[in-house]
Amino acid sequence: MLKTFFLSLHAHGRDWAVAVIVISTAILISSFAYFVFLKVMARLRKKSVKQHKFFTILHRLQHPARWIVIFTVVFMVIPTVDIPEPYHLGLIKTIGVLWFLSLGWLMIAGVFVAEDLLLARYDTSQADNLRARRVRTQMILLRRLAIGFIIVIDIGLVLSVFRDSRIWQYGAGLLASAGLASLVLATAAKSTASNVFAGIQIAISEPIRIDDVVIVEGEWGKVEEITTAYVVVAIWDKRRLIVPLSYFIEKPFQNWTRTGSDLLGTSFLYTDYSVPVEELRQELRRVVEASPLWDKLVCNMQVTSLSEHTMELRCLVSSANASNLFDLRCVVREQMVAYIRDHYPEAFPRTRFMGIPAQPPDRNLAQV
């Protein structure tokens, strides 16, 4: 093969030199033209701030678009040069493969552009970010599915370049045997397939979203990441709980922010019957009004249970999110206990004992 190539190179030395010069010139011209285009766009960016979205798109697409331009120009130039037939066909196929790979790169970059443009309209840092978290979760899952689909399509396009060669026949045979292989792998890949379908269900039905507060396996945490196979839950003590996607479809769990981030929470006090409930109710109002953690919606105190020794007081408060609510409940407990200690120390739960008075002696029994 090498001997044939060198003989052809010696016989068509002038043609090869012209071909290399023409192709190299085409690459340089296309690269320079693309460089000039980017410089013009950069100057327009300095003059205009309103076109920020356009330049975000340009930043994502500039690298794959550069190679698309170069390979397109080279593909157009190749028929104009005189190259021996076997090498001419090989060069055409090589450029075709590289062009399709660049096209796949461009399409994947386009998916990221669509995600950036949609997510730019929704701010997840706001207090009431339910819609933003919903869109973000859907886009992450759909983006990964779209990229996987694009990769499969791009592989098919690359194989289509070799439709007249053995590679295309091998590829067709491989695709034909995929049905049999899928039957063999169906059992082994059952969990993987269930996670993929669970990801689609989560994107549509939205049982969880990014930053949702959930309780899974008895652990309290936030949904930090949703992949195509598992969900990462950030536990409050900085641990990470890795849960398969199918778990959130097949098993029950608690989602504290399913319809909104605002929550209700309780703090219980156990006191003696002698404590003035109305005065404690007013003190609870004063405590929560002085705290920035309260969202000014719910503040109430009720006697919810009685026992032979204590009276149960439920302090019901609300907050904008789960973190603030936890801190507010702690503040209520601390300050209400301090108030009872300072003003009604005798109202803490205690156990009473009563002595039985001594019975006077029976006179009749004494005379005996």
Which tens digits make up the pLDDT trace of 112-168? 888 777 777 766 556 556 667 667 777 777 887 788 888 888 887 887 777 655 555
Among candidate residues 23, 13, 148, 166, the one with its CA nearest the CA of residue 98: 23
- pLDDT for the residue 3: 44
**For residues 235 and 210, which has the higher predicted lDDT (pLDDT)?**
235
Q: What is the CATH number of the domain that holds 294?
A: 3.30.70.100
Residue 113 belongs to a domain? yes
Q: Are residues 113 and 6 in the same domain?
A: yes
Locate tokens 């190679």: which residue? Answer: 67
Residue type, 53: K
Going by the DSSP 8-state scheme, the letter that residue 44 receives in this structure is H
Q: Are residues 108 and 72 in the same domain?
A: yes
Residue 368 belongs to a domain? no
Residue 366 belongs to a domain? no
Instruction: Specify the 3-state DSSP secondary structure of 352.
Output: coil
Residue 143 belongs to a domain? yes
Q: Are residues 24 and 157 in the same domain?
A: yes
**Containing domain of residue 288, as a range?**
263-347
Q: Are residues 162 and 293 in the same domain?
A: no
Strands 254-255 and 213-216, by their bridges, are antiparallel
Q: Are residues 34 and 63 in the same domain?
A: yes
Residue 270 belongs to a domain? yes
Axis-axis angle for helices 52-77, 85-119 (nearest 10): 170
- Which of these three, 137, 160, 191, is where a domain ends? 191
Q: Which region among 239-243, 267-271, 326-330, 360-364 has the lowest average model confidence (pLDDT)?
A: 360-364
- pLDDT for the residue 176: 52
Contact 112, 143 (CB under 8 A): yes
Q: Are residues 269 and 238 in the same domain?
A: no
Q: Which region among 35-39, 51-55, 89-93 has the lowest average model confidence (pLDDT)?
A: 51-55
Residue 44 belongs to a domain? yes
Alpha helices by DSSP H, 78-165: 85-119, 130-160
pTM: predicted TM-score of the whole model, two decimal places: 0.50
Q: Are residues 236 and 139 in the same domain?
A: no
Contact 312, 304 (CB under 8 A): yes
Residue 353 belongs to a domain? no
Instruction: Specify the 3-state DSSP secondary structure of 211.
Output: coil
Q: Are residues 159 and 14 in the same domain?
A: yes
- pLDDT for the residue 49: 46
Q: Are residues 180 and 315 in the same domain?
A: no
Phi first, then psi: give them for residue 200, nearest 5 degrees: -65, -40
Q: Are residues 64 and 166 in the same domain?
A: yes
Residue 197 belongs to a domain? no
Contact 200, 145 (CB under 8 A): yes
Q: Are residues 321 and 338 in the same domain?
A: yes
- Cα-based angle 161, 59, 73 (whole degrees, multiple of 5): 35
- Which of these three, 191, 217, 236, is where a domain ends? 191
Q: Are residues 236 and 154 in the same domain?
A: no
Number of domains in the chain: 3
